[in-house]
């Protein structure tokens, strides 16, 4: 949990100083060492910050000796089919071969027939653009096979759009998320340097997906050498400097449960290289979400690589640079890259939150969208949907009477499951992004601390700067704002749950860069005694992309195991989620229960 003074500053924040509810001084006895961190984070200004002493991308494809002959064959086939005027055939084919920046690995992999199809598709897009009123060039080319895929599209660098091709999400879902063992896939993607005639600000983006062919398919359990674990194409194309980067990251990630996040300066330029490594299957949706993250900070990628290794490790390498015309609206890359490296660990915990669309279009920041996701989970369990009428009915009936008790139980179940479903709560929160931002600011004001080490040369993070600029509202002011903004009583109840969450969180790892799931220690005093007569001593809510869990303690010192509830379908998960906390409170001892 974050602790310490906010960048050594005690300045007021619009009357409210950033504070932490549980600041503790830990006295470390001689010889006592911290526990190994689940995540490794390398950030600008830190001792492990490094510079890449090479100007290229670190990948050099082996020369394809048959490229000229293949190009002649492609020209002949294109001319024979007659879709492109004969006097334009040479220009179109040579543009495809020489101007788009596609390396020889593609041409050595694809057949002449496939390349002819791609040339035709690109030419057809140009013709379609000419016929459009806005003359906008829009290319959407995809070819998918069992062992490889090619995607080419046009997009504006540095901009996420819900109306785009969706190729990144598609290739991630089809090839990357399911990568395991020999059925693993590596990805190379780059922004073409060629200018598009009539493309405006748009540029061509190419994605190439290849099934991995590992040099050593069954490595020893303790093997960490990338020369043994790597894909054959990867080993052929990478420079010694790039392999050294991957080797360093590999040795760090095998000993951790979470990701390794490193950043490198590219010598002689403002470009930064972000490297993220994790175990296969532990970060579903991360590849696409990373694009939304750096786009939010006004950056674009020139090249991206996803490499798989036969020991079950995935390493992403992304070359980032300022997006065209973005610096007037965003911090310089030297400042934003620091925030990005810190927020990757948050994204790793929940790569695709239920409010990802708000993040993609810029209405919410990453921290705000994941905060909203966590409160959405909290609200499903603890929204008081029974009301005073239920309590009055309970007092009138005899709970010792079996008939009365059964009636109350059925009524409680119906009120909890039918009044506010998870989808209904989500629908309500989606309508109030501005309220979420104000509520998040109160949460951040209580739990965020800007830390500064002796060797660090950080600029203050954007979260800290936001608290210095935006006004942090009091709880009474938030209550009045919710009442004024909410369109009806149901909406007010859901948004009030944010206030309850904020006031109940005692401690959290939300802002700690070394985490694999989000954890919140809650003050259980918000639980109505009529529903939960046995008071809790300690209460923890843990959330990740694949599970949610509670740890409840009924006394100071207690023992208990971890109980895992696995769901075979989405419907079963929804039912188990609704009853999760109720099941736990019926266990009159310390216990942990985890829902997957």
Q: Tell me: the pLDDT tens digits for 299-355?
A: 999 999 999 999 999 999 999 999 887 767 788 888 889 889 989 999 999 999 999
Task: Average the pLDDT over 78-83 and give the result.
Answer: 94
The residue that leads in pLDDT, 433 or 466, is 433
Residue 218 has pLDDT above 50, yes or no: yes
Dump pLDDT digits (tens) for 487-524.
998 899 999 999 999 999 999 999 888 889 999 999 99
CA distance 299 to 323: 5
CA distance 426 to 210: 38
Number of other residues whose CB lies within 10 A of the CB of residue 24: 8
Q: Which long-range contacts (CB under 8 A, 24 or more apart) does 524-531 make?
A: 526/382, 526/500, 527/382, 528/384, 528/386, 530/391, 530/394, 531/386
> Residue-wise over 182-207: b if at least 16 C-beta within 10 A, else e?
eebbbbbbbbbeeebeebeebbbbbb
Task: Average the pLDDT over 514-539 and give the result.
Answer: 87
Ramachandran angles phi, psi of 411, nearest 5°: -65, -40
Spatial CB neighbours of 3, under 8 Å, sequence gap ≥ 6: 20, 23, 24, 449
Spatial CB neighbours of 405, under 8 Å, sequence gap ≥ 6: 399
pTM listed for this prediction: 0.82
Give CA separation, 298 vs 5, 293, 568, in Å: 29, 9, 41
Helix axes 366-382, 333-349, angle to 10 degrees: 20
229 touches 309 (CB < 8 A): yes
Residue 42 has pLDDT above 90, yes or no: no
508 touches 21 (CB < 8 A): no
Task: Average the pLDDT over 353-364 and give the result.
Answer: 92
Spatial CB neighbours of 515, under 8 Å, sequence gap ≥ 6: 38, 39, 258, 345, 346, 349, 509
The confidence score (pLDDT) of residue 553 equals: 85
Helix axes 489-504, 422-430, angle to 10 degrees: 90
Name the pLDDT band for 468 (thresholds 50, 70, 90). Answer: low
CA distance 399 to 397: 6
Out of 364-373, 481-490, 560-569, least confident range: 560-569
277 touches 318 (CB < 8 A): no
306 touches 187 (CB < 8 A): yes
Residue 592 has pLDDT above 80, yes or no: no
Ramachandran angles phi, psi of 215, nearest 5°: -65, -40
Name the pLDDT band for 409 (thresholds 50, 70, 90). Answer: confident
Residue 573 has pLDDT above 90, yes or no: no
Task: Average the pLDDT over 105-134 and give the result.
Answer: 87
Q: 């995935």: which residue's tokens?
A: 314
**Mean pLDDT over each residue of the chain, to the nearest integer:** 83
Task: Average the pLDDT over 21-49 and give the result.
Answer: 46
Residue 369 has pLDDT above 90, yes or no: yes
The confidence score (pLDDT) of residue 418 equals: 61
Q: Where are the domains of the chain?
A: 1-21+353-385+420-505, 67-352
Burial of 26 (0-12, 13-18, 19+ CB in 10 A): exposed
Name the pLDDT band for 577 (thresholds 50, 70, 90). Answer: confident
Number of other residues whose CB lies within 10 A of the CB of residue 418: 10
Q: Which of 426, 415, 430, 257 is nearest to 345 (CA)?
A: 257
Residue 290 has pLDDT above 80, yes or no: yes
What is the percentage of the chain residues whose pLDDT exceeds 90?
48
Task: Average the pLDDT over 428-441 and give the result.
Answer: 96
* DSSP states along 445-500: HHH------TT--PPPPHHHHHHHHSPPPPHHHHHHHHHHH-SSHHHHHHHHHHHH
Q: Which of 313, 318, 271 is nearest to 293 (CA)?
A: 318
Q: Where are the beta strands (DSSP E) in 225-362?
A: 260-266, 272-279, 299-309, 313-322
Q: DSSP class of residue 63?
A: P
CA distance 175 to 180: 10
The residue that leads in pLDDT, 79 or 571, is 79
CA distance 156 to 199: 9
CA distance 477 to 483: 10
Residue 41 has pLDDT above 80, yes or no: no
**Strand 299-309 with 185-191, pairing:** antiparallel
Dump pLDDT digits (tens) for 162-198.
777 899 999 999 999 999 999 999 999 998 877 776 6
């Amino acid at each position: 949990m974050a602790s310490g003074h906010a960048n050594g500053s005690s300045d007021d924040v619009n009357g409210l100083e950033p504070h932490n509810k549980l600041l503790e001084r830990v006295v470390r006895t001689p010889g006592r060492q911290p526990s190994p961190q689940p995540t490794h984070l390398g950030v600008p200004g830190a001792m492990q910050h490094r510079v890449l002493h090479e100007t290229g991308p670190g990948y050099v494809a082996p020369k394809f000796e048959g490229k000229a002959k293949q190009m002649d064959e492609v020209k002949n086939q294109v001319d024979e089919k007659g879709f492109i005027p004969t006097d334009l055939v040479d220009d179109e084919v040579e543009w495809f071969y020489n101007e788009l920046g596609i390396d020889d690995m593609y041409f050595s992999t694809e057949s002449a027939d496939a390349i002819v199809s791609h040339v035709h598709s690109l030419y057809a897009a140009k013709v379609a653009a000419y016929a459009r009123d806005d003359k906008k060039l829009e290319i959407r080319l995809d070819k998918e096979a069992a062992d490889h895929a090619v995607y080419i599209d046009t997009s504006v660098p540095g901009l996420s759009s819900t109306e785009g091709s969706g190729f990144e999400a598609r290739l991630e879902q089809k090839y990357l998320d399911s990568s395991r063992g020999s059925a693993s896939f590596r990805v190379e993607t780059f922004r073409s340097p060629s200018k598009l005639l009539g493309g405006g600000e748009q540029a061509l983006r190419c994605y190439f997906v290849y099934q991995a062919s590992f040099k050593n398919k069954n490595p020893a359990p303790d093997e960490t050498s990338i020369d043994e674990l790597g894909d054959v194409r990867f080993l052929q194309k990478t420079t010694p400097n790039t392999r050294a980067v991957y080797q360093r990251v590999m040795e760090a990630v095998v000993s951790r449960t979470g990701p390794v996040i490193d950043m490198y300066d590219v010598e002689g330029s403002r470009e930064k290289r972000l490297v993220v490594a994790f175990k296969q299957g532990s970060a579903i949706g991360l590849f696409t979400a990373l694009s939304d993250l750096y786009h939010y900070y006004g950056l674009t990628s020139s090249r991206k690589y996803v490499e798989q290794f036969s020991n079950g490790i995935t390493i992403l390498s992304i070359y980032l640079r300022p997006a065209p015309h973005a610096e007037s609206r965003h911090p310089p890359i030297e400042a934003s890259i620091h925030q990005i490296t810190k927020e990757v660990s948050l994204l790793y915990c929940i790569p695709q939150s239920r409010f990802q669309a708000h993040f993609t279009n810029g209405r919410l920041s990453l921290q705000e969208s994941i905060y909203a996701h966590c409160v959405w989970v909290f609200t499903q369990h603890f929204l008081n949907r029974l009301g005073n009428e239920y309590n009055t009915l309970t007092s009138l009936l005899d709970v010792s009477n079996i008939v009365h008790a059964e009636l109350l139980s059925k009524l409680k179940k119906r009120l909890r499951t039918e009044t506010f479903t998870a989808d209904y709560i989500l629908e309500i929160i989606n309508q109030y992004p501005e309220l979420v931002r104000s509520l998040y600011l109160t949460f951040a004001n209580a739990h965020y601390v800007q830390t500064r080490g002796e060797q660090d040369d950080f600029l203050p993070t954007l979260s800290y700067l936001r608290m210095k600029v935006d006004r942090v509202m009091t709880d009474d002011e938030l209550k009045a704002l919710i009442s004024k903004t909410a369109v009806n009583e149901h909406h007010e109840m859901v948004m009030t749950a944010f206030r309850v969450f904020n006031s109940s969180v005692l401690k959290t790892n939300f802002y700690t860069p070394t985490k694999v799931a989000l954890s919140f220690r809650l003050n259980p005093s918000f639980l109505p005694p009529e529903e939960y007569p046995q008071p809790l001593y300690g209460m923890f809510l843990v959330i990740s992309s694949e599970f949610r869990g509670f740890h409840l303690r009924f006394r100071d010192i207690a023992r208990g195991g971890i109980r895992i509830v696995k769901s075979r379908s989405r419907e079963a998960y929804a039912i188990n989620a609704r009853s999760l906390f109720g099941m736990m409170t019926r266990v009159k001892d310390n216990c942990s229960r985890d829902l997957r």
